[in-house]
Protein backbone atom coordinates (compact mmCIF):
# COMPACT_ATOMS: atom_id res chain seq x y z
CA UNK A 1 0.00 0.00 0.00
CA UNK A 2 1.88 3.05 -1.21
CA UNK A 3 1.88 6.43 0.46
CA UNK A 4 1.85 9.23 -2.10
CA UNK A 5 2.69 12.89 -1.65
CA UNK A 6 0.21 15.43 -2.99
CA UNK A 7 -0.09 19.20 -3.27
CA UNK A 8 -3.43 21.02 -3.21
CA UNK A 9 -4.04 23.38 -6.14
CA UNK A 10 -6.41 25.50 -4.01
CA UNK A 11 -4.47 26.12 -0.76
CA UNK A 12 -0.95 24.87 -1.75
CA UNK A 13 -0.91 22.47 1.21
CA UNK A 14 1.51 19.54 0.77
CA UNK A 15 0.30 16.29 2.34
CA UNK A 16 0.68 12.53 2.17
CA UNK A 17 -2.09 10.01 1.70
CA UNK A 18 -2.28 6.24 1.74
CA UNK A 19 -3.81 5.15 -1.57
CA UNK A 20 -5.01 1.54 -1.62
CA UNK A 21 -5.33 1.39 -5.41
CA UNK A 22 -3.96 3.56 -8.22
CA UNK A 23 -7.48 3.73 -9.64
CA UNK A 24 -8.50 5.63 -6.47
CA UNK A 25 -5.96 8.46 -6.78
CA UNK A 26 -8.68 10.71 -8.24
CA UNK A 27 -10.62 10.35 -4.95
CA UNK A 28 -7.92 12.03 -2.84
CA UNK A 29 -8.98 15.31 -1.22
CA UNK A 30 -6.94 17.92 0.63
CA UNK A 31 -7.18 17.43 4.41
CA UNK A 32 -6.81 21.17 4.95
CA UNK A 33 -9.48 22.67 2.69
CA UNK A 34 -11.35 19.61 1.35
CA UNK A 35 -10.63 20.39 -2.30
CA UNK A 36 -10.41 17.54 -4.79
CA UNK A 37 -8.08 19.63 -6.97
CA UNK A 38 -4.88 17.91 -5.88
CA UNK A 39 -1.82 16.87 -7.83
CA UNK A 40 0.41 13.90 -7.05
CA UNK A 41 3.97 15.03 -6.49
CA UNK A 42 7.00 13.16 -7.69
CA UNK A 43 8.56 11.72 -4.56
CA UNK A 44 11.85 10.05 -3.87
CA UNK A 45 12.60 7.29 -1.45
CA UNK A 46 15.57 5.63 0.13
CA UNK A 47 16.17 2.19 1.46
CA UNK A 48 18.66 0.62 3.79
CA UNK A 49 20.27 -2.72 3.13
CA UNK A 50 19.99 -5.50 5.69
CA UNK A 51 23.65 -5.26 6.62
CA UNK A 52 23.47 -1.58 7.51
CA UNK A 53 25.73 -0.40 4.68
CA UNK A 54 24.49 0.45 1.23
CA UNK A 55 27.77 -0.67 -0.35
CA UNK A 56 30.93 -2.50 0.48
CA UNK A 57 34.45 -1.81 -0.63
CA UNK A 58 36.90 -4.67 -0.88
CA UNK A 59 40.42 -3.21 -1.08
CA UNK A 60 42.24 -6.54 -0.64
CA UNK A 61 41.68 -7.52 -4.29
CA UNK A 62 42.89 -4.20 -5.71
CA UNK A 63 46.48 -5.44 -6.04
CA UNK A 64 45.44 -8.51 -8.02
CA UNK A 65 43.79 -6.58 -10.87
CA UNK A 66 44.98 -7.46 -14.31
CA UNK A 67 45.38 -4.92 -17.09
CA UNK A 68 45.43 -7.60 -19.74
CA UNK A 69 49.14 -7.32 -20.55
CA UNK A 70 51.66 -9.88 -19.30
Q: Read off the pLDDT of residues 7-36 as tens digits, 9 standing for 90 and up.
A: 999 999 999 999 998 889 899 999 999 999
Which CATH class for the 1-42 domain?
mainly beta
Best CA proximity match to 16, nearest among 2, 34, 37: 2
Q: Evaluate if pTM is beyond 0.75.
A: no
pLDDT confidence band for 55 (50 / 70 / 90): low
Side by side, which strands form the sheet with 14-18?
A: 14-18, 3-8, 38-40
Amino acid sequence: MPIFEFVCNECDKVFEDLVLSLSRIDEVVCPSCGSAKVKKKMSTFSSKSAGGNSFSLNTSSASSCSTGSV
